[in-house]
Amino acid sequence: MITALFFVVSFIAGMLTYNALRKRSLWLLALVIGEFPVHHFVLQVLVTVGFVAIGAVRGFLGWFALGQMIFSMLGLLVLTARALRSKGVVAGVLGDAGIELNGEVPHALADVILIQPRLPESIEEIGGLSYGPDQRHRLDLHRPRSPGGPLPMLVQIHGGGWRRGSRDTQGRPLVHHMAELGWLCASIDYRLSPAATFPDHLEDVKRAIGWLRENADSWGADPSYVAVTGGSAGGHLAALAALTVGEPHLQPGFESADTSVQACVPLYGIHDLLDRNRVRYPWPFVEATVMKVSPDRDPQAWDLASPLTRVTVGAPPFFVLHGSHDFLVPPLESRQFVAALSAVSDNQVLYAEIPGATHGFDARHSIRSRHVVHGVESFLHHHYEMAGSR
């Protein structure tokens, strides 16, 4: 009985590791295993030792189970090596662009072990501020407890397919780190579909940017510099916010507000809602619940909602990041956007494809997210300093 149980456990462990190693994976399981391979390695070692200690390795089945566990653990080491490669990839992209990495990203041992981002003692959180009339018009601010001067601003936009998600569930490692380094970071909520119809989501992002700039003095911020970031649908909205400056129809009721963006860092974003090159599997929910009109009936609306077709010479600096193993939104989505933007933009456009990363890799503390946070920090600081020297 114990041997059979060991076999079942080893089979499950092996399949989970195999899934995380594949590009065409079951996403959530791949995320949980692939982002935290060291945790799972330790767990599998302990489980294996326990089964060996109680005599589960008997006969062919027992030895086969032990072999499965060993191969699973070797796979976890491969996943760890992929995660460690992220540092070199990010450093190489930035180095080729003349940007040096800023030191090392500090991290507490508890963060690495517990995974869940904790609020560092050196920063304060001001939660639940209203930036508009809707109940979804809320944001949280993070800033250093002892600011040394006017703080550049970073707006974090959550993902969730434009239909779900919240400001306190994504991007916390980056937000906390940038706040520690002297940035005012705003994590925002926005109206969600199906109640909201695009461009409601984008209008809310712009409303939040305008509100932050208007109230910058109250929070010790520098109104001249706002960067935007976000993952998935948040990356889509961040890119659009950066590419649609000066379009009053996207600012109903606050047309005169300054919603300009000085830098943009979209992660695994959706850049072509029409999916012209058939990068993704079909997403019928976008038409049914987000756009609420077919591309045939209103192709212009879909073009206006696609960063790929909004590229412009005046785009701010972009640092686009995407996981090489993202199966929900394959990296070709970002590659084709970067190619189109690079062809026209007067500003810097960088692209880093993160080895082994899948969708949502930056939501928690991990080896990979640590190196990505480090790179984003270096990019933003570089361009903030460049803006100040002009």
* Pairwise CA distance, residues 34 & 22, whole Å: 10
**Crossing angle between the packed helical segments 27-34 and 59-96, to the nearest 10 degrees:** 80
Whether the pLDDT of residue 258 is over 70: the answer is yes
Residues 105 and 234 occupy one common structural domain: yes
Is the residue at 90 inside a domain?
no
Characterize the bridge pairing of strands 318-323 and 221-231.
unpaired
Residues 257 and 378 occupy one common structural domain: yes
Q: Which residues of 243-257 are buried (b: 16+ CB within 10 A; e: fewer)?
A: bbbeeeebbeebeeb
In the chain, what percentage of residues exceed pLDDT 90? Answer: 86
Whether the pLDDT of residue 282 is over 90: the answer is no
Q: Are 147 and 182 in contact (CB under 8 A)?
A: yes
Whether the pLDDT of residue 251 is over 90: the answer is yes
| CATH code: domain of residue 193 | 3.40.50.1820
Residues in the chain: 390
Longest CA pairwise span in the chain (Å): 77
* Pairwise CA distance, residues 156 & 150, whole Å: 19
Give the HSE-up count for residue 278: Cα atoms under 13 Å, Cβ half-sphere. 0
Residues 52 and 104 occupy one common structural domain: no
* Pairwise CA distance, residues 110 & 74, whole Å: 25
Three-state DSSP at 359 gives coil
Residues 22 and 166 occupy one common structural domain: no
Is the residue at 127 inside a domain?
yes
Catalytic residue positions, numbered = 232, 326, 359
- Give pLDDT tens digits for 187-219: 999 999 999 999 999 999 999 999 999 999 999
* Pairwise CA distance, residues 28 & 30, whole Å: 5
In the chain, what percentage of residues exceed pLDDT 70? Answer: 97
Residues 54 and 137 occupy one common structural domain: no
Question: For residue 148, what pLDDT is reported?
Answer: 80
Residues 358 and 212 occupy one common structural domain: yes
- Mean pLDDT, the chain, whole residue set: 94
Is the residue at 89 inside a domain?
no
* Pairwise CA distance, residues 76 & 123, whole Å: 35
Domain end (from 84, 114, 129): 84
Question: For residue 213, what pLDDT is reported?
Answer: 98
Question: For residue 216, what pLDDT is reported?
Answer: 96
Q: Which domain holds residue 376?
A: 96-388
